[in-house]
Amino acid sequence: MTTTPDTTASFKREMLSALPSLRAFAMSLIGRHDRADDLVQDTIMKAWAKQDHFEMGTNMKAWLFTILRNELYSQMRKRGREVQDSDGFFTESLAQHPSQYGSLDLQDFRKALESLPSDQREAIILVGASGFSYEEAAEICGCALGTIKSRVNRARQRLQDILKINGEGDYGPDATSAPLTSRAFVS
Amino acid sequence: MSYDTGTQRADANASSADDTNAQIASKLRALYLSVQEEAIPDRFLDLLEKLDAAERQSSDCSQE
């Protein structure tokens, strides 16, 4: 792609429209607003520098998610850290953004999500929340389709186990959203 | 309860797994949406403006 004012404008526009979801992805991977937004910023700069490689009309969101994910893992390798510093994550982020995590119920769920291995967590987020197909998720994670499917299944199984232990019978199904959202898991 | 036969229990277990899956799906969406629905922070809008301006400036220079 040759960079002209027109293509730059539409590149920028598409990037803006993908940003809310990109932030949500970063936040669900990292768990902290400050570090998630730093990662989004790095991703924007990387993507801007690479805009010649982006083909207009292809999936900007998937492209940005791939860059963000690669950036995160390369930063982690450099720093020798796990994706999340789980210690203190809840205390800190809940203190900073008490309203951001919704009901107590949702906080419990977040804790369960945090406890998943990072490969399973990103798989279930991409497919179950970001709205990607299994194929797109496999491409973003650079792995085989079967690998993504099995990660999603293991993540779902593990969440089921945790939620069953924590709240046997506590959760009433959400009649309006459950039938819609559960479709995300049909493989 | 007299009507709680083994078959019914098995059915109940299967549907409770379905319920749990539906709950997982809707909670996952809810959590994600709680961030996605936030306004885009100014730092990103500013950053994009700066990147854009820098690029326009450099292409203006190269055209002269």
Each residue's pLDDT tens digit, A147-172: 999 999 999 999 999 887 765 544 44
The confidence score (pLDDT) of residue A164 equals: 78
ipTM above 0.90, yes or no: no
The confidence score (pLDDT) of residue A171 equals: 47
Q: Is B53 on the interface with A (CB under 8 A)?
A: no
The confidence score (pLDDT) of residue B23 equals: 87
Percent above pLDDT 70 for chain A:
74
A64 and A153 assigned to the same domain: no
Q: Of A158 and A1, which is predicted with more confidence?
A: A158
| Coil vs helix vs strand at A144 | coil
End-to-end C-alpha distance for chain A, whole angstroms? 35
Within 8 A of B43 by CB-CB distance, chain A residues are 37, 41
- How many structural domains comprise chain B? 1
Residues 6+ apart with CB under 8 A from A95: none
Range of the domain at B27: 6-63
The confidence score (pLDDT) of residue A87 equals: 43
Domain membership of residue B59 (yes or no) is: yes
A78 and A122 assigned to the same domain: no
Specify the CATH number for the domain of residue A93.
1.10.1740.10
Smallest CA–CA distance, residue B15 to chain A, in Å, is 11
The confidence score (pLDDT) of residue A92 equals: 43
Range of the domain at A51: 1-101
Lowest mean pLDDT among A74-88, A122-136, A166-180, B33-47: A166-180
A88 and A11 assigned to the same domain: yes
Q: What is the mean pLDDT of residues A44-59?
A: 90
Residue pairs spanning A and B at CB distance below 8 A: 120
Determine contact, residues B31/B24, Cβ cutoff 8 Å: no
Specify the CATH number for the domain of residue A123.
1.10.10.10
Q: Is A24 on the interface with B (CB under 8 A)?
A: yes
- At position A105, the amino acid (one-letter code) is D
User: Does the pLDDT at position A16 exceed 50?
Assistant: yes
- How many structural domains comprise chain A? 2
The residue among A101, A120, A136 that closes a domain is A101
A96 and A112 assigned to the same domain: no
List, in sequence order, the alpha helices (H) in B1-64.
6-36, 42-63
A113-141 pLDDT per residue, tens: 989 999 999 999 999 999 999 999 999 99
User: Does the pLDDT at position A181 exceed 70?
Assistant: no
Interchain CB distance below 8 Å, B24 and A156? yes
User: What CA–CA distance (Å, rounded) separates B53 from B59?
Assistant: 10
Residues 6+ apart with CB under 8 A from A35: none
pLDDT band, very low/low/confident/very high, at B16 (cuts 50, 70, 90): confident
A54 and A135 assigned to the same domain: no
The CA dihedral of A131, A136, A138, A139, to the nearest 10 degrees, is -140
The residue among A62, A80, A101 that closes a domain is A101
Residue of A181, A185, A186 to mutate for B, most B C-beta atoms under 10 A = A181
Instruction: Indicate the average pLDDT of chain B.
Output: 81
A107 and A90 assigned to the same domain: no
Interchain CB distance below 8 Å, B20 and A113? no
Interchain CB distance below 8 Å, B24 and A184? no
Smallest CA–CA distance, residue B35 to chain A, in Å, is 5
A61-72 pLDDT per residue, tens: 999 999 999 999
pLDDT band, very low/low/confident/very high, at A104 (cuts 50, 70, 90): low
User: Does the pLDDT at position B54 exceed 90?
Assistant: no
